[in-house]
């Protein structure tokens, strides 16, 4: 692939000085480029289209005409089966609550904390900032077992007494997934970077007018951070909707499963029912795909900056 661009670049180089008809080499380079990007797109997009096609085929057609991209007799039976044969609707609702709840808390608390670290001067600011930054480097695996125990033994919650005995604490409740990630260090860091780019003078002017610090945050700076909040909201939604390992551990009541954990249960090593599995895959991917399509410009640009920072 490197060679392809290299050839194209070298062929294009003489064209810088005087415009002249494209050399045969440039034409070949262009054709090779188009073939390469189309082939790669086919490998990234085709599996999704094939999944969609298979999910719309009746059971008898799935294996017999597995290579056919357009179903001969399209049907929604696989989707209907998800909701009638199992609690898939419940899974979707659980995931929506967890993902949207995570967005709300991360935007609010991440915004507040990020603003404090960017715009308020106080002793210990550097320490707190490096603490959050450092905590992003700690791999999730090390806190997995103890976090489970902290949530399970949380005093006075979920049937627990003052010493955390007797009940299941937050385990098997939305709190088990929402609370530990309610104000992640990434949200704080991200919003801090965003607020830092805004001028200090706005706050100073409001302060002279006698506005409280919260008011300055809420009415002056937060509206200016709308773009940042939108990107953080989309990223947090995707992370919450797509998370797997932690919900798998913390929520095992059949009624509390998230859509990802529920979907994983449809994949069996033997005797997999491909129709419902792939219909579930489409439903599990749809919300994040829609959000991505709406916001893709901002998301991709934000990502592009992270490499140069």
Q: Which residues contact 284 (CB under 8 A, 6 or more apart)?
A: 95, 259, 260, 263
Residues 64-103 that bind other proteins (CB under 8 A): 66-67
**Nearest approach, Cβ of 20 to other proteins (angstroms)?**
18
DSSP 155: T
Cβ contacts of 278-282, under 8 Å, gap ≥ 24: 278/51, 278/52, 278/54, 278/55, 278/78, 279/55, 279/78, 279/79, 279/81, 279/82, 280/82, 280/88, 281/51, 281/55, 282/51, 282/52, 282/55
**Nearest approach, Cβ of 60 to other proteins (angstroms)?**
13
**Nearest approach, Cβ of 84 to other proteins (angstroms)?**
20
**Nearest approach, Cβ of 4 to other proteins (angstroms)?**
7
| Binding of residue 144 to other proteins (CB under 8 A) | yes
**Residue 37 or 227 having the CB closest to other proteins:** 37
Residues 184-243 that bind other proteins (CB under 8 A): 185, 188, 207-208, 210-214, 217, 238, 241-242
Among 123, 162, 163, 271, binds other proteins (CB under 8 A): 123
Among 27, 35, 45, 80, binds other proteins (CB under 8 A): 45
- Tokens for 195? 């607020």
Q: Which stretch binds other proteins (CB under 8 A): 75-83, 158-166, 223-231, 245-253?
A: 245-253
Q: Which stretch binds other proteins (CB under 8 A): 20-28, 96-104, 220-228, 278-286?
A: 278-286
Residues 145-184 that bind other proteins (CB under 8 A): 145-150, 179-180, 182-183
| Binding of residue 133 to other proteins (CB under 8 A) | no
What is the Cβ-side half-sphere exposure of residue 111, based on CA atoms within 13 angstroms?
25
């Amino acid at each position: 692939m490197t060679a392809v661009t290299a050839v194209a670049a070298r062929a294009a180089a003489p064209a810088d000085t005087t415009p002249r008809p494209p050399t045969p080499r440039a034409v070949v380079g262009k054709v090779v480029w188009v073939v390469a990007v189309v082939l790669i797109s086919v490998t990234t997009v085709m599996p999704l289209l094939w999944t969609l096609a298979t999910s719309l085929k009746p059971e008898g057609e799935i294996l017999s005409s597995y290579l056919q991209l357009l179903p001969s007799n399209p049907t929604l039976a696989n989707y209907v089966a998800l909701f009638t044969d199992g609690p898939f609707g419940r899974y979707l609702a659980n995931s929506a609550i967890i993902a949207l709840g995570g967005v709300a808390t991360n935007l609010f608390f991440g915004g507040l904390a990020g603003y404090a670290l960017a715009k308020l001067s106080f002793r210990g600011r550097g320490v707190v900032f490096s603490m959050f930054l450092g905590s992003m480097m700690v791999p999730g695996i090390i806190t997995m077992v103890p976090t489970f125990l902290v949530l399970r033994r949380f005093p006075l919650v979920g049937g627990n007494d003052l010493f955390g005995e007797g009940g299941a604490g937050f385990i098997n409740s939305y709190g088990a997934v929402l609370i530990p990630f309610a104000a992640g260090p990434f949200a704080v860091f991200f919003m801090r970077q965003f607020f830092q780019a805004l001028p200090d003078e706005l706050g100073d002017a409001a302060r002279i007018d006698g506005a409280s610090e919260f008011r300055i945050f809420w009415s002056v700076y937060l509206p200016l951070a709308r773009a940042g909040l939108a990107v953080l909201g989309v990223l947090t939604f995707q992370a919450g909707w797509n998370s797997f390992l932690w919900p798998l551990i913390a929520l095992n009541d059949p009624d509390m499963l998230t859509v990802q954990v529920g979907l994983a249960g449809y994949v069996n090593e033997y005797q997999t029912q491909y129709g419902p599995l792939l219909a579930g895959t489409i439903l599990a991917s749809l919300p994040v795909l829609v959000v991505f399509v709406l916001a893709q410009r901002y998301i991709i640009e934000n990502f592009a900056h992270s490499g140069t920072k």
